[in-house]
Chain A
Amino acid sequence: MNVTNPNSFRMGPDENGLFGIYGGRFVAETLMPLILELEQAYKDAKADPTFQAELDGFLEHYVGRPSPLYFAERMTEHLGGAKIYFKRDELNHTGAHKINNVMGQILLARRMGKKRIIAETGAGQHGVATATACARFGLECIVYMGEVDIERQKPNVFRMKLLGAQVVPAKSGSRTLKDALNEALRDWVANVEDTFYCIGTVAGPHPYPEMVRDFQSVIGRETKAQMLKREGRLPDSLVAAIGGGSNAMGLFHPFLDDKDVEIIGVEAAGLGLRTKTKHAASIAGGKPGVLHGNRTYLLMDDDGQIIEGHSISAGLDYPGIGPEHAWLHDMGRVEYVSATDKEALEAFQLCCQLEGIIPALEPSHALAHVMKIAPKKPKDHLMVMNLCGRGDKDIFTVADILGTKL
């Protein structure tokens, strides 16, 4: 693609919500006034120091930030190359990075006077985080979840219900995350007056990709400060898993202009990219298209019909990727690779055994890539992997694959 390098990779999006050709506002007219209202409200909040102070307070005392930057000593020894650090976002309240963004959006919803919160969820982590924050602030919470995902993520469904949320099955289409997103958009169109749509990843119409990125960037800002304190310099490489790409964007964004930092995003290759349809690697196996309010890389057929992604990890099997990632890929600033179900499962087990940490299957994909590249790096190479979620929710899936009856 013919593009010239900008002076900064951190200035996007433009006033139309575009990162290069990606992003935008591809929504029905009914939603346009709401999206413009949200954009203005977010701009105002961003400029208001009391909003940031309130958010920081909740992130510290409720979420438990900052999350540690942990030197994974035994993993480092085992792989015999790069010095590996884990950014421990799995230690957050609710067990994943999702809550960082949810706290920001819920505080914004309160500021806007919205009383009814809707969200979509795939694996259930974003749904649980949203239900949690809604319980904390006494807001009505409706979570859309694909019927198929409800079946395979029962513990998270029960968690959401305990927290007072209503879980609504998405019964249309492939009945997974993309359909949950469609249903949430349909709800929003019908309830424009009082409803705030809390999107869980760096996708959707502008300003969501920017807003979610900003709220998740706390991950990268902390990592930068922690690494400077620990090692006296910036890391040499960053590795994060990508479904929609919010944990990765959060880690990457503060480092995009540090040109010596190598940045790698790991998509889910499922049963392998050669299967064509049994993976969820939108960049490696997709092409640019328009879905859910933005232009980005999508998995689709030649007719522009969306193909459902597959991954062992329910949090990664989304057929698209955040538009800023699409742009960073075209610009060559971030390298996008992939890891298969099998590789992720091996990484999952190794992490349990060597570090005493049960990772979620999502960051297990990032770890699988760390296992591929760390051995080839010198011992003074500082590598940070975003351990963005804990694996408690995945033990049933893993037990099933390993042939263990629980």
Chain B
Amino acid sequence: MSTRIDRRFEALKKEGRAALVTFVTAGDPDYGTSLKIISGLPKAGADVIEIGMPFTDPMADGPAIQAAGLRALAAGQNMKKTLKLVKEFRKTDRDTPIVLMGYYNPVYVYGVDKFLKDAKSAGADGFIIVDLPPEEDTEFCLPALKAGMNFIRLATPTTDDKRAPKVFRNTSGFVYYVSVLGITGTKAPDLKSVKANVNRLRKHTGLPICAGFGVKTADQARAIARDADGVVVGSALVSAVEKSLTKTGKATAKTAKAVHALVADIAQGVRS
């Protein structure tokens, strides 16, 4: 069964270009502005949209995404509203894949089966749950696959050839190659190692490989797009949200525009 994610990557392959995968946090800085940001992403050049489900304790994220999650929670975001956001987005866009990304606890507390059912009917296509390695596949990955959704896994520089088959066994949609050792948005990716690792991982999987963690500029995106099937940009967009806010953390007229402008700029890099 092919999903929106599969179809999107097939189409891009025919076009002969890499995907731009954008990450923003649901409800940051508030529900309305967040919907406006997300709704404008496809037009700005995003091919796949990752929506962060806010969590108080995002252990693999750097300061920018942590702060975004806390801003969203402070503005009243919760899982129900995140699913509502997806649903409202789907009314305006039927083709751009949505990946919900986050940590397991809010999903576990919502209830795995109920979450899968509600996420699917809202129009989400896949998931990245950072703290669910293959060792915990029975928790959520297998039920998600059974529900016809994609479970996208992170591969890292520590995913060596011995471990790679285990990591990819139940991965679908695409592989998210984390280009640096560390948390999101802190170090810049080492482009040489991205190339070597993406090529190494291709021996283990036929899935599209997108690379990210630390991508901030069109030039970086352009370089990565040469070797990978997609470029993921997250912290830079979330930082653009932050920079556009008032001193008290409220959205301004610039907020959505700032994100869309940065996406458009990076999209040019990916497409050139």
Contacts A16-B135, A29-B159, A305-B73; A172 near B60 (Cβ below 8 A): no
Does any Cβ of A come within 8 Å of B104's Cβ? yes
- A191 neighbours in B (Cβ, 8 Å): 181
Q: In the complex the two chains form, what is the Cα distance from A345 to B58 in whole Å?
A: 35
Contacts A190-B183, A305-B55; A28 near B109 (Cβ below 8 A): no
Is the pair A28, B130 in contact by a Cβ cutoff of 8 Å?
Answer: yes
Scan A287-302; emit 1 where CB is below 8 A from any B CB, else 0. Answer: 1011111010010101
Does any Cβ of B come within 8 Å of A33's Cβ? yes
Find A28's partner among B56, B63, B107, B133 (CB 8 Å cutoff): B133
Find B79's partner among A24, A290, A303 (CB 8 Å cutoff): A303
Does any Cβ of A come within 8 Å of B93's Cβ? no
Does any Cβ of A come within 8 Å of B143's Cβ? no
Q: In the complex the two chains form, what is the Cα distance from A141 to B186 in whole Å?
A: 22
Q: In the complex the two chains form, what is the Cα distance from A306 to B58 in whole Å?
A: 11
Report how many residues on chain B are interfacial, defined by Cβ distance under 8 Å.
45
Q: In the complex the two chains form, what is the Cα distance from A16 to B70 in whole Å?
A: 32
Does any Cβ of B come within 8 Å of A25's Cβ? yes
Of residues 27 through 54 on chain A, the ones whose CB sits less than 8 Å from some CB of chain B are: 27-30, 32-34
Q: Which residue of B lies closest to A17 (CB)?
A: B135
Does any Cβ of A come within 8 Å of B59's Cβ? yes
Which of A130-138, A178-186, A386-394 lies at the interface with chain B?
A178-186
Which of A28, A29, A178 has the most C-beta atoms of chain B within 10 angstroms of its own C-beta?
A29
Contacts A24-B136, A186-B183, A291-B57; A33 near B66 (Cβ below 8 A): no
Does any Cβ of B come within 8 Å of A173's Cβ? yes
Q: How far is the CB of B116 from chain A (nearest CB, A)?
A: 16
Find B167's partner among A24, A29, A303 (CB 8 Å cutoff): A29
Q: In the complex the two chains form, what is the Cα distance from A378 to B60 in whole Å?
A: 53
Does any Cβ of A come within 8 Å of B158's Cβ? yes
Is the pair B131, A190 in contact by a Cβ cutoff of 8 Å?
Answer: no
Contacts A303-B106, A304-B110; A27 near B133 (Cβ below 8 A): yes
Find B56's partner among A26, A27, A287, A306 (CB 8 Å cutoff): A306
Of residues 204 through 257 on chain B, the ones whose CB sits less than 8 Å from some CB of chain A are: none
Q: In the complex the two chains form, what is the Cα distance from A125 to B92 in whole Å?
A: 55
Q: Which residue of A lies closest to B55 (CB)?
A: A305
- B182 neighbours in A (Cβ, 8 Å): 186, 189-190
Which of B57, B66, B108, B178 has the most C-beta atoms of chain A within 10 angstroms of its own C-beta?
B57
- B66 neighbours in A (Cβ, 8 Å): 172-173
Is the pair A25, B136 in contact by a Cβ cutoff of 8 Å?
Answer: yes
Contacts A29-B159, A186-B183; A300 near B136 (Cβ below 8 A): no
Does any Cβ of A come within 8 Å of B267's Cβ? no
- B56 neighbours in A (Cβ, 8 Å): 173, 305-306
Q: In the complex the two chains form, what is the Cα distance from A300 to B107 in whole Å?
A: 13
Contacts A192-B158, A304-B110; A29 near B153 (Cβ below 8 A): yes
Q: In the complex the two chains form, what is the Cα distance from A290 to B112 in whole Å?
A: 13
Q: In the complex the two chains form, what is the Cα distance from A172 to B66 in whole Å?
A: 8
Q: In the complex the two chains form, what is the Cα distance from A191 to B55 in whole Å?
A: 24
Q: How far is the CB of B9 from chain A (nearest CB, A)?
A: 21
Is the pair B105, A28 in contact by a Cβ cutoff of 8 Å?
Answer: no
Find B131's partner among A293, A298, A300 (CB 8 Å cutoff): A293
Is the pair A192, B104 in contact by a Cβ cutoff of 8 Å?
Answer: no
Is the pair A25, B133 in contact by a Cβ cutoff of 8 Å?
Answer: yes
Of residues 103 through 139 on chain B, the ones whose CB sits less than 8 Å from some CB of chain A are: 103-110, 130-136
Which of A30, A185, A191, A287 has the most C-beta atoms of chain B within 10 angstroms of its own C-beta?
A30
Does any Cβ of A come within 8 Å of B154's Cβ? yes
Q: In the complex the two chains form, what is the Cα distance from A287 to B108 in whole Å?
A: 11
Is the pair A30, B105 in contact by a Cβ cutoff of 8 Å?
Answer: no
Is the pair A304, B108 in contact by a Cβ cutoff of 8 Å?
Answer: yes
- B57 neighbours in A (Cβ, 8 Å): 173, 178-179, 182, 291-292, 306
Q: In the complex the two chains form, what is the Cα distance from A303 to B135 in whole Å?
A: 25
Q: Which residue of A lies closest to B187 (CB)?
A: A190
Q: How far is the CB of A176 from chain B (nearest CB, A)?
A: 12
Task: Knowing that A33-B160, A291-B105 touch, tell me 8 more A-B residue pairs with CB under 8 angstroms.
Answer: A25-B135, A28-B60, A28-B130, A30-B157, A32-B163, A33-B163, A290-B104, A300-B109
Please list the residues of chain B having a beta carbon within 8 angstroms of any beta carbon in chain A.
54-60, 62-63, 66, 70, 73, 78-79, 103-110, 130-136, 153-160, 163, 167, 178, 181-183, 186-187
17 A/B residue pairs, CB under 8 Å, sorted by A: A26-B131, A26-B136, A27-B131, A27-B133, A28-B60, A29-B178, A182-B59, A189-B183, A190-B183, A289-B108, A292-B57, A292-B59, A295-B108, A302-B109, A303-B78, A305-B54, A305-B56
User: Which 5 pairs of residues, A with B, have the shortest CB-CB distance?
Assistant: A304-B109, A190-B182, A304-B106, A303-B78, A30-B156
